[in-house]
Structure 1
Amino acid sequence: MHSLRFTNETSSNGVVECDFMVGDVPGVLWSPASGREQAPLVLMGHGGGMHKKTPAQASRAREAVTQWGYNVAAIDAPGHGERPRTADDEQARLDLRRALTDGDNERFKSVSIRFAISLAERAVPEWQATLDALQELPEIGVEAPIGYGGGISLGTAIGVPLTATDSRISAAIFGGGFFVYDEQLEAARRITVPIQFLLPWDDEHVDRQSGLTLFDAFASQHKTLHANPGDHRTIHWLDLDTQFLPRHLGRVATSPA
């Protein structure tokens, strides 16, 4: 079992941002400066080709800290951010670029699915080890409610099997923008926690039916779907249910920074 090792800490506007390592996996934890114990923890998975601290993800994390008093953690997916790529990772990226250049959507789909399965197989145990380590921190502990806020694309490709595997996660936000496949559907059928599902309606590569099929597969009796026009990389989400996580994880009273 790997322990968590903090490597850097900064603080601004009531939010403490701590970089950490769990084994060789780099991550970041955003927490309230008040240091409240056992506040809910949200795990955030990033999109494909992105990393744990993209501006959009960091902004969402800080909002969850300041508005709801949450802790928020993110790690780099295998071959993303600060992490080295394997030869297979490099080949998959090359194949994806070639498929896009050639306009071969079937090839793009098959490579995307194989790559997603490979990333999820590696990332799920890493997320579980990270969660084990985070629960050792007094500000989190083993009693804090845990949610997954990975959103769309790769965040869902990893988050679905993670949520299906780890019973500590009690609510999750997923989304479309990624091809659906048998392993993902099998995992979705084992998920019974509340789900919020975000669907880009006009993704240029992924047919919206893939997202609808995945949404339908979730076994949860409390699941909602929110669709907006646009591609998953450029979409502007409007009128989201921003109270989804506070409703299911609770809310911690916060004080002004």
Structure 2
Amino acid sequence: MHSLHFTAESFSDGVAERDFRLGEIPGVLWSPVSGAGRAPLVLMGHGGGAHKRHRAMVGRAHLLVRDCGFHVAVIDAPGHGDRPRDAQDERDIAALRGAQAAGEPEAPVVVPYNARLAEVAVPEYRALLDALLDLPEIGAEGPVGYVGIGLGMAIGVPLVAAEPRIAAAVFGMAWPDALFEAAKRITVPVEFDVHWDDRRIPREASLALFDAFASTEKSLHAHAGEDFDFPRVESDSAARFLARHLGRRVTSAV
């Protein structure tokens, strides 16, 4: 895999934001502007149809950097953000829009689409991890966390199952159909978020996936309603969870 190249840098509210490219893969690394010594890394995965600079990614990154002192990185998933779609992407997206317009189930389209993207993205994230852990401000000795919602979970479950350097993970709100075998190989602490009344992702399927995680420490966070967004209260909980397992102290009232 290609080396990491930083292409731009800016500063806001105590957070340094650096654009980078890993070969042709674009991403962003957020870091504390000041602080002593090295700090752990948290990888994030964005949702389907979103991108590395989606407001949820920026907000979550600033929370993790400001309140926990983490470095936080995300890359555009294949066919998302600044990465071009291929012909299969276009067919899958057209099929999804057709199912939505007809009121038909989305899972028969979304599950194989997400699984196909994950096959590409998991090795990319592992190569990104190699490159980031070479940075002196992060270092190979520190623990790594992962947060993935929606498509980010579809990528994150097989990633965490395959990557021994990831020590804790937060997942939520994705169709679990293709994730059970990978979940059975995950033994690190997991925080898993579901919407209890979601009509698109059956509650029973999410509960079955929670059961499948082999982690001895895992927690299920369920919210009433159908809202597909990740609630702010869960962003705060994820920060506390990662701080606890990656050896940091939360410096605000999250």
* Matching of residues 1-257 of structure 1 within 5 Å: 1-34=1-34, 36-105=36-105, 108-150=106-148, 152-176=149-173, 178-181=174-177, 183-234=178-229, 236-238=231-233, 241=237, 242-251=239-248
1-side partners of 2:48 and 2:229: how far apart? 14
Residue 80 of structure 2 aligns to a residue whose secondary structure is: coil
Give the counterpart letter for 1:63 in structure 2: L
Q: What percent of counterpart residues are identical?
A: 53
How far is the alpha carbon of 1:237 from its aligned partner? 4.8
Residue 56 of structure 2 aligns to a residue whose secondary structure is: helix
2-side partners of 1:253 and 1:90: how far apart? 42
Give the counterpart letter for 1:171 in structure 2: A
2-side partners of 1:66 and 1:172: how far apart? 19
Runs ≥4 residues deviating over 4 A: none
In 2 relative to 1, CA 37–87 (structure 1 residues): closer, same or farther, beyond 3 Å? farther
In 2 relative to 1, CA 156–253 (structure 1 residues): closer, same or farther, beyond 3 Å? closer
Q: Structure 1, residues 72-104: CA drift from partner, whole Å, max 9, x if none?
A: 001000001111001000100000010111122
Q: Answer whether contact 1:27 1:75 (CA < 8 A) is retained.
A: yes
2-side partners of 1:49 and 1:253: how far apart? 31
In 2 relative to 1, CA 69–234 (structure 1 residues): closer, same or farther, beyond 3 Å? closer
Q: Answer whether contact 2:243 2:250 (CA < 8 A) is retained.
A: no
2-side partners of 1:252 and 1:18: how far apart? 24
1-side partners of 2:48 and 2:77: how far apart? 9
Range that drifts further, 200-209 or 42-51: 200-209
- The two structures have a TM-score, normalised by structure 1, of 0.92
2-side partners of 1:45 and 1:78: how far apart? 12
1-side partners of 2:14 and 2:175: how far apart? 39
Residue 205 of structure 1 aligns to a residue whose secondary structure is: coil
Structure 1, unaligned runs of 5 or more: none
- The two structures have a TM-score, normalised by structure 2, of 0.93
1-side partners of 2:28 and 2:107: how far apart? 31
Range that drifts further, 116-125 or 205-214: 205-214
